[in-house]
Structure 1
Amino acid sequence: MIRWLTEAVPRGRVAAFRTLIYLFVAADLVVFTPWVRAKVDVPGDMYQPLFIGRLLPLPTPSPALVGVVFWALLLLALVAATGRAPRLLGWTVFALYFQWMIVAMSYGKVDHDRFALLVALAVLPTAGRARHGDPTPTEAGGWALRVTQIAVICTYFLAALAKFRFGGLDWATGSVLAKAIIRRGTDLADLLAQVPHLLLVAQFGILAFELLSPAIFVLPERWRHATVAFFYSFHLVTIATITISFAPHLVAMTSFLPLEKVRPVILARRLLARRTEPPHPRAEPSPTGSGTQPVDGP
C-alpha cells in the first residue's frame, strides 16, 4: 500500500500540475466565485458557518476580511504558480482558499465539486520543489498526486452513497434529471428528454459509473487514461445539458494525466521560431545542367 501511495512520478508532472492548480485558483476568484465578495452585504445572522468554521472558530465575514483574502489569494496564487517557495506559498494559498470556501459555502449551499481541489492544495506543499520538464522521479510528488486522485474518485463514489442515503433506488427510478432539465436545461437537454426512457437509463448509468469509479486504480495505464477521458466526456455532456461545469473537479482530475508531456511555453517558442526564421533558399537548375543551385533572391 505504501509503495502504491508513493509511486514515483516525474518532477515535471508535479510542476505542471502545481502551475495548473494555482492558476485555476486565481481564475476561480475572478471567473467562477466572484460572488463570494457580495456575501458580506448579507446580514450577519444569515451566516451559518460550516462545522470547521465553528470549530476553529472563524470570524463572521466582513468587507475588510473578504477583501484582504481576495487580493492576497489572487496575488499569492499567481506567484505560487511559478513554483517559487512551494511550501511557504503553498500552505498560505491553501489557508486563504480554505477561508474563501468557508465564506462561500456557509450561506446554505455546499458544492462538492471543490473537495478534490482543496485536497490538491493541501498536499501540493509537501511535494517540494519541482521544475517543468524535469524527468527525475519523486515519491513525494507521487504521493501528492495519488492523494488528489483518491479525492477525485471519492467525489464520485461518495456521491453515489449520498444518493442511496437520501433517495434510495427512487433516485434512479424518479425524475431527478427531468427536474434538473426543467430548472436549468439547454436546448440539447430538451431534445434528449423527448427520447423515451432515456433519462431513466441515464440515471441508472450515473449510479453505476459513480459506484464503479474506484476501479480506475486497478486498470492498466492505457485503460486508465481512456477512463479519465470518459470522465471528462461525462462532464462535457453535463455542461451541455444542464450547465453544471464541475470546473474545480476537472482541474484536480488532471492528476491522472502525464502533464509533463504538455509544454505550452516550449511549444509557443517553437511556433514563434518557425515564423521568424528566414525562408529556406529556393533551388533552380544549374546553368551547367549538372544539377540545381540555391537562389537567394527573387
Structure 2
Amino acid sequence: MRRLLERFDRAFFAEAPAERLAILRLLVGGFALVYLCVRAVHLQRVGHLPPESFRPIGVVSALSAPLPLWAVRGLVAAAIAAGAAFVAGYRFRALGPVFGALLLWVLSYRSSWGMVFHTENLLVLHVIALALAPAADAYALDARAARRAGAAPPEPDGRYGWPIRLLCAITVIAYFIAGITKLRNSGLAWATSDILRDIIAHDNVRKLALGDTHSPLGGALVRYPFLFPPLASATLALELGAPLALFSRRIAVVFCGAAWLFHLGVLLTMAILFPYPLLGVAFAGFFELEKMRDLRRPRRAGPPPASRRGGEAPLGRRS
C-alpha cells in the first residue's frame, strides 16, 4: 500500500513547467471569458422569466426566490470582469477563485429555469481547478510584476504538475461517469440494441416539431439500424476506458482523438454542440503545450562536416 501511494505521489505531483500551466490558464480562461461575453444577453434574459419557472439547482439551491434583474446583470458583468483578470493573470490568488465562484454561480443560475446545460459542466470544473492553482507564475501580469521585483523565473516543480493532472483526471472521470450512467440505465443493451438510434430519432423529431435546429444527417441515418450497435459500443468503450488515458501518453492521444470524434458525431447527428471539447480546449491538459514554441522556431543549420585535415574526429563514432 505504501509503495502504491508513493507511485501515486510521484505521478500526480510530477514536475511540470510553469509555462504549461499558464498556457492552460490562457486557453481555459480565454474560452470561458469568450463564452460569457457571447452568452451575456442570454444569461441576463433569465431575469425576465416568470418566477414560477424558477427551479434552483446546485449552489443556487440556497435561494428560495429568483434574484432581481439588476442583481442578475451585475453578477454577469462581475463574472466577465473577473474572467478578464483570470486570463491576464492579474492578482490571481484573489481574483482567480472569485472568477471560479462567479462562473459557477452564473451558469448554475441560468440552468435553474427548467433546462440544465450539461455542456458547461467540464468547463466550470476546469476553471475552478485552475483558480486554485499557481497558474499565473508565467505569461501573466503577476509574473511580470514578480520579475520586475527581482524574482527568478520559476523552475519546473510539482506545484505546477498536480493541477494539470487534476484537469486530466476531471476530464476522464466526466466521461467515465457518462459510461457508468449508460450501464445503470440500460445495461449492455445500450451496446446491442437500438437505444442510440431511438435517442437520435426522438431528438430530431422533437426539434422538428418545435421548429428548432435539427440534423438532416441524423434523420437519414436512422433508416440503417445496423449502424448503431457498433457506434454505441464504441461510445461505451470510449467512456469506460477513459481513465486509462491517465497512465499512458499514447492512450491519452487516442482518447482525445476518439472523444473529439464522438462530439463531432453528436453535432452531425443531433445538432448538439459541445464547443469546449470540439475546439480541443477540454483536452489541452494531456499535451506538452509549452513545446509549441519550438515548432515556430526555425531550425538552425548544423555545423559543416568535420574535416580530417583540421584535426577533428570524423562523423560517426568518436573515440
Q: Same fold (TM over 0.5)?
A: yes
Secondary structure, counterpart of 2:115 in structure 1? coil
The residue that corresponds to 2:148 in the other structure is none
Tell me what 2:261 maps to: 233
Corresponding residue for residue 289 of structure 1: none
Match of 2:163 in 1: 144
Shift of 1:121: 1.8
Counterpart of 1:257 (choices 267, 280, 287) is 287
Amino acid at match of 1:176: I
State yes or no: 1:168 paired with 2:194. Answer: no
Contact (CA 8 Å) 1:127, 1:144: kept in 2 or not? Answer: yes
Alignment match, 2:18: 11
Question: For the residues of structure 2 that align with 1:58 and 1:142, how far apart are their CA atoms?
Answer: 41
Structure 2 residues without counterparts, runs of 5 or longer: 1-7, 141-152, 208-212, 299-319
Report what 1:73 is aligned to.
Answer: 79
TM-score (normalised: structure 2): 0.74
* Partner SS, residue 187 of structure 2: coil
**Counterpart position of 1:210:** 239
Point out which structure has higher relative CO (alpha carbons under 8 A, 6+ apart). Answer: 1
Aligned equivalent of 1:180: 203
Change in 2 beyond 3 A, CA 1:45/1:191: closer
Using the TM superposition, give the Cα deviation of residue 261 of structure 1 relative to its aligned residue in structure 2, in angstroms: 2.8
Hey, what does 1:276 align to over in structure 2?
A: none
Q: Cα 1:112–1:33, aligned 2, differ >3 Å: closer, same or farther? A: farther
Whether the aligned pair in 1 keeps the contact of 2:43 and 2:76 (CA below 8 Å) is no
SS in 2 for 1:262: helix
Shift of 1:141: 2.3
User: After the TM superposition, which residues 115-126 of structure 1 pair with which residues of structure 2 at under 5 Å, given as runs?
Assistant: 115-126=121-132
Instruction: Quote the Cα distance in structure 1 between the aligned partners of 2:67 and 2:164.
Output: 33
Among 53, 57, 75, the alignment partner of 1:50 is 57
> Which structure features the higher share of strand residues?
1
How many Å separate the matches in 2 of 1:23 and 1:58? 33
Q: Give, in angstroms, the shift of residue 61 of structure 1.
A: 2.5
- Deviation of residue 228 (structure 1)? 1.3
Residue identity (%): 24
The one-letter amino acid paired with 1:262 is M
Q: Deviations over 1:157-210 (max 9, x none)?
A: 111222233333444422223323444642333443343410232122212211
1:153 paired residue among 156, 161, 172:
172
Structure-1-length-normalised TM-score: 0.78
Q: Which amino acid aligns with 1:193?
A: V
Q: What are the ranges of 5 or more consecutive residues in structure 1 without an aligned counterpart?
A: 272-298
Count of residues in Structure 1 that have an aligned counterpart in Structure 2: 266
**Maintained 8 Å contact 1:73/1:93:** yes
